Chains A and B, each alone.
Chain A
C-alpha cells in the first residue's frame, strides 16, 4: 500500500538535545511538507520541499532543519534552538489533482508526538 510513514510515533527529549523525525513516502510525490500542530490549533508550516535537494522555509522554520537527499525521504531535525518543541508533527506529500489545476492535495502521515522533559 502506498503511503507516508512517520517515525517514531512518540518521542521524548531532554532540553538541549537535537532530535530527528523520520518521514518516508512511497507515493512517488515530488513535494513534501512538515507541519506543526499544537493542542486545539491548526497546522503551521515548518518547511517544504518541491524537489530533491531543494527546500524552503515555511512560517515557523526557526529552530528546525531539514534535508531532501532522496525523493522518498524528508527528515526533520528539531534543534536545541527551538524554544518550545513539544507538539504534534505531521509530514505530508502532495501531487497535483487530476484536473491539472495546479492543486496540492496533501497526503499525511500518522504524525509524531514530541515531548520535551
Chain B
C-alpha cells in the first residue's frame, strides 16, 4: 500500500522559479521525509520533518507539515536545471519500522 500521494504528478518550470510539491498521507506518522531520484538511479534523502515540527529549512529547500490535514509540502526556491528529478515523500508510521513512499512528482526545470 502507498501511504503518501504527491501532487502534482509532473511539474515543468523555468530556471530561477520556485517549485512546490505537495504530499498527503493517510495514517498517524512518526516523521515525514523527502527524497530525490535522478532518472535510473537510487533515491537520495533530502530532508526529514518530525511529527511535532511544522516547518524546516535546508539550503534552498523548505518543508512544511500539517498533521491535522495529513499533508506536507516541499518548496525548492530558485530552481536550477540540475534540480530536474523525481521527488518522493515517505512516511514512517507511528510505532512502525516501515518507510512507505508515495508515487512521486516529476520535476523538469528548463534552462
Chain A residues in the interface with B (C-beta under 8 A): 4, 6, 31, 33, 35, 40-45, 48, 50, 58-59, 88, 90, 92, 94, 97, 99, 101-111, 113
A43 nearest in chain B by CB position: B101
Given the complex, which residues of A lie within 8 Å of B33, measured CB to CB? 103, 105-106
Contacts of B45 in A (CB 8 A): 105-107
Contact residue among B2, B31, B41 (Cβ-Cβ distance under 8 Å from A110): B41
Q: A90-B43, A111-B40, A111-B41 are in contact. Are A103 and B50 (CB under 8 A)?
A: yes
CB contacts (< 8 Å) of B1 on chain A: these are 59
Contact-residue size bin, chain B (C-beta under 8 Å from the other chain): 20 to 34
**A31–B98 Cα gap in the complex (Å)?**
10
Query: Does B59 make an interface contact (CB < 8 A)?
Result: no
Overall SS of chain B's interface: strand
- State which of B31, B97, B101 has its C-beta within 8 Å of the C-beta of A42: B101
| Min C-beta distance of B55 to chain A, whole Å | 16
For the complex, is B100 an interface residue (Cβ under 8 Å from A)? yes
Q: Interface majority SS on A: helix, strand, loop or mixed?
A: strand
Q: Shortest distance in angstroms between B72's beta carbon and chain A's nearest beta carbon? A: 15
By a CB distance below 8 angstroms, the chain B residues around A101 are: 30-31, 50
Q: Give the chain B neighbours of A50 by CB distance below 8 A.
A: 97
Residue of B nearest to A110 (CB): B42
Contact status B50-A104, CB under 8 Å = no
Q: What CA separation (Å) do A15 and B64 show in the bound complex?
A: 46
Q: Is B108 an interface position by the 8 A CB rule?
A: no
Q: Given A103-B30, A103-B92, A106-B45, is A31 in contact with B97 using a C-beta cutoff of 8 Å?
A: yes
A108 x B42 contact (CB < 8 A): yes
Which of A42, A58, A88, A113 has the most C-beta atoms of chain B within 10 angstroms of its own C-beta? A42
Binary flags per residue of B94-111, CB closer than 8 Å to A gives 1, else 0: 000111111110100000
Which A residues are CB-close (under 8 A) to B43?
43, 90, 92, 106, 108
- B98–A99 CB distance below 8 A: no
> Which residues of B sit under 8 angstroms from A33, Cβ to Cβ?
99
- Bound form: Cα–Cα A88–B42 in Å: 10
Q: Is the CB of A99 within 8 A of B50?
A: yes
